[in-house]
Structure 1
């Protein structure tokens, strides 16, 4: 009875955590981030995975379809899966506007609602990296991939701009749940190799640079305060502490200033990984 009670409590806590994560990503306007800041990232991943007409493709933690929609445009049969129904609904509308048909499915990256060996390509563009438990998420990527399938990932690196942004926000954010690992670890080649292990072969990893432009450092800060769920959530947590708000404001402006050139251009580093399921 005690074991059952403890198991049920753990299950309930996990469900609550996932509900909070889904709500966090629905804050603000992630579609604007995908459209205005990282519009080309999904296309890069699709090209790296060599997605072809007729393939069965799964985009994990797909958001509003930054990679899923280009994959469908390439002629693949695409399932876009995400924890947040709000983001899926936006993506569904964008696909309709583009005249493309995709299957939009709500699902947890740590427990994907698909059978074993279901897809020719399993990919994620700065998405699965935000699942709290890296091991179970990696296990799921492999499980749903057919033998010989391509697994493709684009993830922000720990030392790159977004990795440093999360480091700057960490002192002001709520503590992570027990066992959760930092998202930018997916941008470390050694970590990804350890997660996937011998279940994949021909793994290649390249650090790439995404060009991003904001006219002023304050424009970056204000845009992310308005649109990006993790940043919005962090500010909400310190809303009653003006000194902390001012300190985080300054930290984000300093970060952007350190990475911008005179014209406002920045490069955001990410790790592009492709591998073949053994």
Structure 2
């Protein structure tokens, strides 16, 4: 095994464990659920379309696509999230396939799907170009690629910037997730392999939190990256207190005395040439 392969496998294991922390299914259901139908609609998903949801989590895109009559596969690195999504879909009588998959090495044939989608999912793959290459590869010529990613300037992008000083530096070559929220970055990743490339900055209205402290405590309990940041400073009470204060202040700033936050994201649609 080469050193590069060992590093990649180590990253895969780390990311799988990261998203198994806490209860991302609660975040998906209580906060980001509206994004899935937005992406399905923007991508024009309809009856009979063969759809792949990459980094699907618990199926925020996969389930709405299946409800449109599409033939859907949900792939994710974390089996715990897939199991939660499959149980939810089964309880609602929704049929689709669930399969463990690494976004940087998708286990499907080239040109297999009519639409390849990812909602705040593929953005967390460590190597952006590898993941983008896979999105394009498995999409058929003329098929659709649809993405939703948090922007660097938006709320989640600022949250990542807030926690960055409290986490270990990533290995060489690993890029920040929020770069997927930059239109120029995504355009460069997809390159001339796509046409009809369109982008739109939108906002998710989040009325789940009364104040910044409530937001912070929800993410400390449920969101893997936030949990990991706190675990890394578990023996440093001063740093815990500082991060507590900074995350609560971020939430309060975005609430600005109102009952809801606006979390900016980038919506991308394109067609494979």
TM-score interval (norm. to shorter) = over 0.9
TM-score by length of 2: 0.98
Counterpart residue number, 1:257: 252
Counterpart residue number, 1:124: 118
Q: 2:95 aligns with which of 87, 90, 101?
A: 101
Aligned residues: CA RMSD = 0.7
Once residues 177 and 124 of structure 1 are traced to their aligned partners in structure 2, the CA distance between those partners, rounded to angstroms, is 24
Question: What is the correspondence of 1:83-102 to structure 2 with a 5 Å cutoff?
Answer: 83-102=77-96
Q: Once the 2 structures are TM-superposed, how far is the Cα of residue 151 of structure 1 from its aligned partner?
A: 0.1
Once residues 24 and 193 of structure 1 are traced to their aligned partners in structure 2, the CA distance between those partners, rounded to angstroms, is 28
Counterpart residue number, 2:17: 23
DSSP-derived class of the 1:59 partner: strand
Q: Does 1:247 align with 2:242?
A: yes
Question: What is the correspondence of 1:30-49 to structure 2 with a 5 Å cutoff?
Answer: 30-49=24-43
Once residues 138 and 95 of structure 2 are traced to their aligned partners in structure 1, the CA distance between those partners, rounded to angstroms, is 21
Q: 1:274 aligns with which of 262, 269, 273?
A: 269
| Off by >3 Å, runs of 4+ in structure 1 | none
Once residues 263 and 224 of structure 2 are traced to their aligned partners in structure 1, the CA distance between those partners, rounded to angstroms, is 19
1:237-273 deviations in whole A, cap 9, x for unaligned?
A: 0000001101110110111111103233100000000
Q: Does 1:155 align with 2:142?
A: no
Counterpart residue number, 2:108: 114
Q: Does 1:235 align with 2:222?
A: no
Once residues 92 and 39 of structure 2 are traced to their aligned partners in structure 1, the CA distance between those partners, rounded to angstroms, is 19
Question: What is the correspondence of 1:130-141 to structure 2 with a 5 Å cutoff?
Answer: 130-141=124-135
Q: 2:170 aligns with which of 176, 192, 199?
A: 176
Q: Once the 2 structures are TM-superposed, how far is the Cα of residue 11 of structure 1 from its aligned partner?
A: 1.0
Once residues 262 and 12 of structure 1 are traced to their aligned partners in structure 2, the CA distance between those partners, rounded to angstroms, is 49
1:53-72 deviations in whole A, cap 9, x for unaligned?
A: 11100000000001110000
Q: Once the 2 structures are TM-superposed, how far is the Cα of residue 12 of structure 1 from its aligned partner?
A: 1.8
Once residues 210 and 88 of structure 2 are traced to their aligned partners in structure 1, the CA distance between those partners, rounded to angstroms, is 27
* Count of aligned pairs: 272
Q: Once the 2 structures are TM-superposed, how far is the Cα of residue 9 of structure 1 from its aligned partner?
A: 2.4
Q: Does 1:82 align with 2:76?
A: yes
Q: Does 1:206 align with 2:200?
A: yes
TM-score by length of 1: 0.97
Counterpart residue number, 1:3: none
Q: 2:50 aligns with which of 49, 56, 67?
A: 56
Q: Once the 2 structures are TM-superposed, how far is the Cα of residue 177 of structure 1 from its aligned partner?
A: 1.6
1:109-150 deviations in whole A, cap 9, x for unaligned?
A: 000000000000000000000001000000000000000000
Q: Once the 2 structures are TM-superposed, how far is the Cα of residue 226 of structure 1 from its aligned partner?
A: 0.3
Counterpart residue number, 2:181: 187
**197-206 vs 253-262, greater mean Cα deviation:** 253-262
